[in-house]
Structure 1
């Protein structure tokens, strides 16, 4: 495989602003510079800004996380993540609720918010002002056009996002009013704190007005991608079990763009479905491995590295792009001092032909002279866990994305989830611990909130820093890929960083989580608990671009997705019955004529089936069938006694036709007839099905 080394004869034609000085890259903001709106917008567009020293600033978060979550031993998975504030204040005879109050110098660098409706106003007090520096309706300030247009201020899948930075020299306080009318308000605010003495020009209406053209240009630039010229381009075939070097560098340089595209000339791929499945398998089982200056820092499946997850899912951000034809690119700057090697390992079962290309430039003098202990290398790590058993309506556990040690900067992550039911999987909050914190300084309000959307929306979206390129459906069923990349909201750490995400599902089911984490670190920085053999085994595990229907609730296997909602309901709190495992299959939201269709195996000696059923004041009338043969009913599940005392369990026995008792799988139907005049609903509950001789 050819080596690439300076002098470089091909370059990249692109705009990214001026090159940072050595002082900026390796020692933080210089004493002569002032952090301002213009300064931060310039930093936003400079991809090399992520290489700045970890000591320059800290990044923390205010949010509406449930304050009952005091420790892992105390309500750690409490889910009341709305309308939680620091305190209330009286101002001009009215109450204001405080979302954020912090001393400067600093800057708000990302603001996310959502609510079922917006009925109140936000107030931003800069540098201790007695009157709001900015104020307006919630949906105008965040995600609206108050400060600027999209993509800096944008709504994506009902999540409202503001990425226009708000610098402040002394302090910043954010409040809202009318919470009794508003009721629910979910929010996350990421902010930087600079070292004391850092010069900051605070944002004011006059500064904002003067920057309108700069903001417009920034939005325009964020909507474009550079035009790159190849410094190398190679096509290789990788057979199962082989690791192929696709490019080797023998002198210090900087990779600025890396691109791959699967080549699929296999005549077996006759249909679009065949092609989609081939890509899904290949992009998970091909592992990208990169070594910089003798140390491997990248080990990640190709699909996850480029943010596509399972299969080819087109989208575009400031840092990555996936095209319809399967071309995938990443624009992370990857400098190295002496040498580098890019390899791709095939842990799958099929040979794959792959084209790779990249743009490389000489190492700037500031990088070349950087002390080796301060030089930041690009890292990308991946892990997966399959068949995580979730609890219904409760937090299951904290799932670790990565545990990093040393000095570095967290710049992004990609989460791919396989959900085997249509109910929402992502109530879990992010918990990020920096430099040995015992309580996370980033405690979120929900997985989709972290990724910039809201309300479990299975909707495709893209933006410069966040995207949902895959939401398979129906509902939240199947493969979902969420990603978040960080520029101004990147998280520096000087000793350690631990990144957890709660697994919190509304159903008792089994889910797969796979996370890729992107970060920069010094030569001594490392990720803990990295096991290549386990990574290879997980990457080789089966994937499906189109997820086969496999819904299971309380041990009942569904033949198809029902109308309405079928989920696990915990029954421990109801006093008048002994439900199996203290839970039941709960079906609600169905209409007369709807049915549950279950897959059941009827034993050869079965003559009767005994059902454990629930009766309550809001339950319906049902009939029961097996393979089209009526077994019994109508059966009225209404017990006209309100309250928990009226929820009872009883059994119902139905005859099994002899011809169905053959030891094979059959379809068992629960048909919703309607409701009696005494019932206030059409719900159904069942905890057991027992075949009797």
Structure 2
């Protein structure tokens, strides 16, 4: 039987043998070394295991001090991250920042608040049932994005908040050869709060090199009455002055139609392998004043391929009187997900905690 290098396994090739080595990093095995799990003598569960000793859940999680960072993975080899699981209190969704560095690079390829990375951008947990991102009760955050690396992988959680944060995590990866045509995973967070009048929202810009765009998450707060999703998404590829790919409306891009309205007078939430509107937060008449939405679209079956550069924008459009479009001034945050060959253009630093805060 033909061997397999262990990257990209699915039901179509799950039976193939491979020489890849399976490893896992967690607070019970910080290095992921073979045969080194469950040996901690110090950790957040030490007191609970005081009558049982080593091997009895001594270190199930970590405490990340306020205004500090913790290296949760530092792998010096070639292979691929295949699954990540994390959980933390919702108060830290925007103050714990996930940063990932490939092959010793100085600028991260991933720089995203934890909540938004897992399609939970509003500080309130919502279940997500998609192919690459899964969120389960009561706050289990899972990523199945394949993330290959050739020399090293470093993963950091930065706590920009004023309080210490408890994080549980597990990172499952394989040590194996990586083919020459495998690209590196990237993700970037942006926000406009509010979007300026008559400006389009830029989801991604400044990407240089060859790659393919694989996903969009939007956390959208509507600051006006009426329908808000007439805007078109646009993909500018390889020097485009005008976009090559243009959508027909916001709900259309996320796989819905006719204002997401189902049943009549209500937003219909849904979560599918590639598209979803899993989160609709309604005003409560007291402290919650605006409608908020969380939406994702994965370009797994239809990746947007580029050879030199890429820019992605979306319009924020509603309606004014007499059937005219109204450019909206909403609070919009996004995560863009893509693969590309290195080197990559620098991903901009995130703003401070006040600019990240959900208010």
TM-score, normalised relative to structure 1: 0.40
C-alpha contact (below 8 Å) 1:433/1:499 kept by paired residues: yes
The Cα shift of 1:408 comes to: 0.7
The 2-side partners of 1:303 and 1:506 are apart by 31
Q: Which residue of 2 aligns with 1:652?
A: none
- 1:469 is aligned, of 263, 267, 278, to 278
| Aligned-pair CA distance for 1:510 | 3.7
Structure-2 residue corresponding to 1:586: none
Query: What displacement does 1:538 show?
Result: 5.9
Q: Which sections of structure 2, spanning at least 5 residues, go unmatched?
A: 1-5, 15-21, 28-60, 261-266, 321-325
Instruction: State the partner residue of 2:352.
Output: 537
In the alignment, which of 456, 466, 473 is matched to residue 259 of structure 2? 456
Q: Residues 384 and 538 of structure 1 are in contact (CA less than 8 Å); yes or no, is this contact kept in structure 2?
A: no
TM-score (norm 2): 0.76
Once the two structures are superposed, residues 523-559 of structure 1 have per-residue CA deviations (whole angstroms, 9 ceiling, x without a partner) of 12336xx431xx1326753315xxxxxxxxxxxxxxx
For each residue in 1:4-56, what CA deviation from the matched residue of structure 2 results, as whole angstroms up to 9, or x when unmatched? xxxxxxx99x843238xxxxxxxxxxxxxxxxxxxxxxxxxxxxxxxxxxxxx
Q: Which of 418, 437, 447 in structure 1 is aligned with 2:250? A: 447
Superposed CA RMSD: 2.5
Which of residues 24, 37, 47 in structure 2 aligns to 1:231? 24
1:253-652 superposed matches below 5 A = 253-262=79-88, 264=89, 279=90, 281-295=91-105, 296-310=108-122, 311-363=124-176, 365=177, 367=178, 370=180, 374-390=181-197, 396-403=198-205, 404-457=207-260, 458-473=267-282, 477-506=290-319, 510-526=329-345, 530-532=347-349, 535-537=350-352, 541-544=356-359
State the partner residue of 1:16. Answer: 11
**Alignment check: 8 A CA contact 1:408 1:520 kept:** yes
Q: Distance in 2 between matches of 1:540 and 1:342?
A: 24
Alpha-carbon offset, residue 337 of structure 1: 0.8
- Mapped partners of 2:234, 2:357: distance in 1: 30
What does residue range 11-160 of structure 1 map to in structure 2 within 5 Å? 15-18=10-13
Pair 1:541–1:487, CA change in 2 (3 A): closer
Check conservation: 2:26, 2:171, Cα contact below 8 A.
Answer: yes
Q: Residue 199 of structure 2 aligns to a residue in which SS?
A: strand
CA distance in 1, matches of 2:317, 2:104: 40
Q: Is the 8 A contact 1:289 1:299 kept in 2?
A: yes
> CA 1:539–1:440 in 2, change beyond 3 Å: closer, same or farther?
farther
Corresponding residue number in structure 2 for 1:554: none
Larger radius of gyration: 1
What is the number of equivalent residue pairs in this alignment?
294
Contact 1:236 1:246 (8 Å CA) reproduced: no
Deviations 1:382-434 (A, max 9, x none): 111112244xxxxx222111121111110001011112334222211011111
Q: Compute the displacement of 1:361 (Å).
A: 1.1
* Cross-structure match for 2:51: none
- State the distance in 2 between where 1:381 and 1:500 align: 14
Give the Cα separation in 2 of the matches to 1:412 and 1:406. 18
Q: Is contact 1:308–1:469 with CA below 8 Å preserved after alignment?
A: no
How far apart, in 2, do the equivalents of 1:439 and 1:420 lie?
29
Does structure 2 retain, via aligned residues, the 8 Å contact 1:471–1:479?
yes
2:357 alignment partner, SS class: coil
Distance in 2 separating the partners of 1:294 and 1:17: 34
Cα offsets for 1:601-623 (capped at 9, x unmatched): xxxxxxxxxxxxxxxxxxxxxxx
1:327, distance to aligned residue in structure 2 (A): 0.7
- Tell whether the 8 Å contact from 1:308 to 1:481 is kept in structure 2 after alignment: yes
Q: SS of the counterpart of 1:448?
A: helix
Quick one: distance in 2 between partners of 1:283 and 1:540?
Answer: 14
Contact map agreement 2:94 2:357 (CA 8 A) in 1 = no
How far apart, in 1, do the equivalents of 2:257 and 2:199 lie? Answer: 21
CA distance in 2, matches of 1:410, 1:289: 19
Conservation of the 8 A alpha-carbon contact between 1:410 and 1:492: yes
Asked which structure has the greater RCO (Cα within 8 Å, sep 6+), the reply is: 2
Is the Cα contact below 8 Å between 1:468 and 1:480 reproduced in 2? yes
Distance 1:542 1:304 in 2: 12
- Distance (whole Å) between structure 2 residues aligned to residue 238 and residue 506 of structure 1: 46
Q: Determine the C-alpha separation between the residues in 1 that align with 2:237 and 2:354.
A: 29
Q: Is the 8 A contact 1:468 1:482 kept in 2?
A: yes
